């Protein structure tokens, strides 16, 4: 049965329980305390979204301003947003099996481009995991060669992690 969804909507505090449940299902190899999502929502609510279908949430996305090449390590709090941010970092996207084939990834990229533009940021960035690098390349992202500091942070995401960015 095909589930319908119109687009991503802004995330609310009341969505954090669903975010935690979806994360446990979709990202069991990348566990993060719910405090991470809670902090990101508090710091940058305009970058946090829920894809909601007829039967409830289909997924979530969390993004925030960051410095290119300097993502936070997995399961770590930011403490604040960098004043010298130059990219919008897609910290996490998690889509349930019911969300497959609905085009939510493309819709999200369009939404993130709008957010980045409003913030005066010229790039989107992310860490690809779960062998998703080809998907993100098809969306216009390119892998960046990591320096030593970035390589250390990427190690917390697993062996196939790649830092990727897209110029807007």
Six token digits for residue 68: 């290119």
With a threshold of 0.85, does the pTM exceed it?
yes
Averaged pLDDT for residues 34-54:
96
Q: What is the pLDDT of residues 82-141, one digit of tens each?
A: 999 999 999 999 999 999 889 999 999 999 999 999 999 999 999 999 889 999 999 999
pLDDT at 56 over 70: yes
CA atoms within 13 A on the CB side of 141: 27
Averaged pLDDT for residues 40-51:
98
pLDDT at 6 over 70: no
pLDDT at 3 over 50: no
Q: What is the pLDDT of residues 62-75, one digit of tens each?
A: 999 999 999 988 89
Nearest to 122 by CA among 43, 61, 65: 65
Residues 51/60, Cβ–Cβ less than 8 Å: yes
The torsion of the CA quartet 128, 134, 137, 141, rounded to 10 degrees, works out to: 10
Percent of the residues in the chain that have a pLDDT greater than 70, as a whole number: 96
91 vs 55, 61, 69, CA distance in Å?
25, 8, 13
Residues 57/37, Cβ–Cβ less than 8 Å: no
Is residue 148 packed enough to be buried (19+ CB in 10 Å), middle (13-18) or exposed (0-12)? Answer: exposed
Q: Report the DSSP beta bridge partners of residue 63.
A: 90
pLDDT at 46 over 70: yes
> Into which CATH architecture does domain 8-167 fall?
3-Layer(aba) Sandwich (3.40)
């Amino acid at each position: 049965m095909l589930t319908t969804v119109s687009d991503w909507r802004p995330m609310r505090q009341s969505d954090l329980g669903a975010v935690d449940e979806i994360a446990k299902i979709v990202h069991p190899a990348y566990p993060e305390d719910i405090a991470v999502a809670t902090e990101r929502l508090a710091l940058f609510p305009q970058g946090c979204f829920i894809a909601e279908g007829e039967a409830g949430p289909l997924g979530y996305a969390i993004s925030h301003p960051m410095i290119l090449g300097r993502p936070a390590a997995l399961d770590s709090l930011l403490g604040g947003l960098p004043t010298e941010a130059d990219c919008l970092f897609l910290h996490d996207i998690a889509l349930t099996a019911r969300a497959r084939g609905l085009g939510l990834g493309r819709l999200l990229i369009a939404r993130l481009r709008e957010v980045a533009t409003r913030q005066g940021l010229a790039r989107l960035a992310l860490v690809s995991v779960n062998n998703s690098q080809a998907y993100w390349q098809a969306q216009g992202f390119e892998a960046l060669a990591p320096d030593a500091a970035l390589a250390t942070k990427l190690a917390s995401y697993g062996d196939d992690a790649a830092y990727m960015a897209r110029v807007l």
